[in-house]
Amino acid sequence: SGVETRTSSPIRMERDAGFQSEIRGIYPCGEGAGYAGGITSADMDGLRIAEAIRSRYQPIAAGTEKKKR
């Protein structure tokens, strides 16, 4: 990929270690949120966010949930 510069967003939305903003359930990412400066870095940031969302909300596989006694 080519050289990218971060010039498209004058702000950066804060996010925590789990990639969420202070408004729970909002995952700021890419150029508009100030985390990327081009298509390649926006793509990489989006993939990182998608992985965080998947790991947080991944459904439990059938047959693996703990049974109550």
In this prediction, residue 58 has a pLDDT band, given cuts at 50, 70 and 90, of confident
- Reported pTM: 0.64
What's the N-to-C CA distance of the chain in angstroms?
A: 55
**Taking every pair of C-alpha atoms in the chain, what is the biggest distance, in angstroms?**
58
pLDDT of residue 34: 83
Residue 67 clears pLDDT 60, i.e. is over it: no
Which ranges of 1-69 would DSSP assign to H, the alpha helix?
Answer: 39-57
Per-residue pLDDT reduced to its tens digit, 35-57:
887 888 889 999 999 999 998 88
CA distance 34 to 69: 49
| Residue 6 pLDDT | 52
